[in-house]
Amino acid sequence: MQTLQVSLGERSYPIHIGEHLLEQAQLIIPHLKRKQVAIVTNTTVAPLYLEKLAQPLREAGVSVIAIILPDGEAYKNSDTLNLIYDALLKNRCERSTTIIALGGGVIGDLAGYAAATYLRGVPFIQVPTTLLSQVDSSVGGKTGINHPLGKNMVGAFYQPQLVLADISTLNTLPARELSAGLAEVIKYGLIRDFPFFEWLELHMNELVSLDSAALSYAIYRSCENKAEVVAVDERESGERALLNLGHTFGHAVENAMGYGVWLHGEAVAAGTMMAADLSRRMGWLNSEEYVRIGNILKAANLPIEAPDLGVERYLDLMGLDKKVVDGKIRFVLQQGIGKSVVTSEYDVNLLKETLSLSS
C-alpha cells in the first residue's frame, strides 16, 4: 500500500492506494467519530463489493446502513439525492454518523453532497471503485449533482476524512469505463507533468491491460498531482481550474447527448482534442504536439472527435459552465504538452472554427 496526503491544514487527509484494501477495516475505523456508517453505493457495485467493505466493519463492532441507488450519470440529480436523505433520516443518523461512498464518480459526488448538507455536515469517506474516481473525483472535495441545464451546477466543496483506492476493484471495471478513467490520467500529464505524459506514452498498453504495477504508479502519480493542486487552491480560484482541461467542451457534449450517453471521460477526451485544436489555431501548440495528444487518447481507446451539435448550440451550453466570468467563457488551453493556462483571451472566430469541425 502507498499513502499520500492532501495537505489542507486541520482538514488534511490521507489517500491509501493498493490492492485488497476494502477488507481492511483498520484503515477506516480510526477516521470514524462513532461506530456507525452509512455506505452509499449503487446496484452495480453493491453485489460486487458492498459486503467486502461492510462485513469487516461489522466484525469490528461498527453498525452498517446500506443505501443502494440506481446506477448511472442520469441519476445524479436531486431525486436520487433525496433517497440518501430519506435513508439517513429513517435510520436516525446523527452528526457523528460517517457516510462512505462506495462506487464511481456519480456515487462519490452524490454521497459527498449528501454528507455536506445532511445536518449541515457529517463525516465522509471516499472508497472509489472506478479508475476515474480513484484518480480524480474522489480527491479534492468537489461534490454535487447535475441540473437539467448544466452538469455539476449544484454542489459544495466538502473534503473527505479519507480516500481508500482499492486497485483490485478495477478488475471488474468494463473496458469502456477504464478508458474513461484514463482520460483523466492523461490530463495530468497534459496540464502540468510532461515526464508523466512521456511515461504514459510508453506504458499505455500496460494500463489498458490492467497491469497492477502500471496502474498503481499511474494512480499514485495522478493523485499526487491533484493533491498538490488542491493544497494551493482548494476552491478553484486559480490553478485548480486547470484540472478542467477538456471539461468545458466535454460537459456541453454530455448535456446535449443526454447524461450517460457519453461517459464523462469520453466527453473529456473529445473536449481535450477540441482544446488542443483551439490551442493550435492560436499558435500555442505545434502540429507535432497536437498529433501526440490525439495518439495517446486513441491508444487509451478514447474518442477524439466530438459530435456535431452546431456552433451556436455549443456556445449556448458552454455559457452555463462554472468557469464563465462576466459572461465570458474561459477555457483551459495548451501552451505545449505539460503546460496549460486558463484564459478568456481567445479569438472567437477561431473558437467557432474549432466548434464547426466537430464530427
Per the annotation, the verdict on 264 as an active-site residue is yes
Per the annotation, the verdict on 142 as an active-site residue is yes
Region at 141 (left for phi over 0; alpha for psi -120 to 50; beta for the rest)? left
Of 221, 251, 280, 322, the catalytic one is 251
- Nearest alpha carbon to residue 275 among 207, 188, 350: 350
Per the annotation, the verdict on 92 as an active-site residue is no
Of 177, 234, 236, 254, the catalytic one is 236
Of 192, 240, 280, 330, the catalytic one is 240
Query: Rounded to the nearest 5 degrees, what angle is found at the Cα of 159, between the Cα atoms of 155 and 163?
Result: 120
Per the annotation, the verdict on 247 as an active-site residue is yes
Of 151, 187, 226, 330, the catalytic one is 226
Of 142, 151, 292, 330, the catalytic one is 142
Of 187, 264, 292, 330, the catalytic one is 264
Per the annotation, the verdict on 147 as an active-site residue is no
Of 221, 247, 280, 322, the catalytic one is 247
Region at 148 (left for phi over 0; alpha for psi -120 to 50; beta for the rest)? alpha
- Nearest alpha carbon to residue 106 among 76, 82, 134, 69: 76
List strand residue ranges (DSSP E) for 272-356, in order.
331-334, 340-343
Per the annotation, the verdict on 192 as an active-site residue is no
Per the annotation, the verdict on 33 as an active-site residue is no
Count of beta carbons in the 10 Å neighbourhood of residue 247: 26
Per the annotation, the verdict on 203 as an active-site residue is no
Of 244, 266, 292, 322, the catalytic one is 244
Name, in order, each residue with C-beta under 8 angstroms of 297's C-beta and a sequence gap of 6 or more.
Answer: 183, 186, 269, 272, 273, 303, 304
Of 73, 177, 184, 224, the catalytic one is 184
| Look-up of cell digits 429513517 | 90
Question: What are the catalytic residues?
Answer: 120, 142, 184, 226, 236, 240, 244, 247, 251, 264
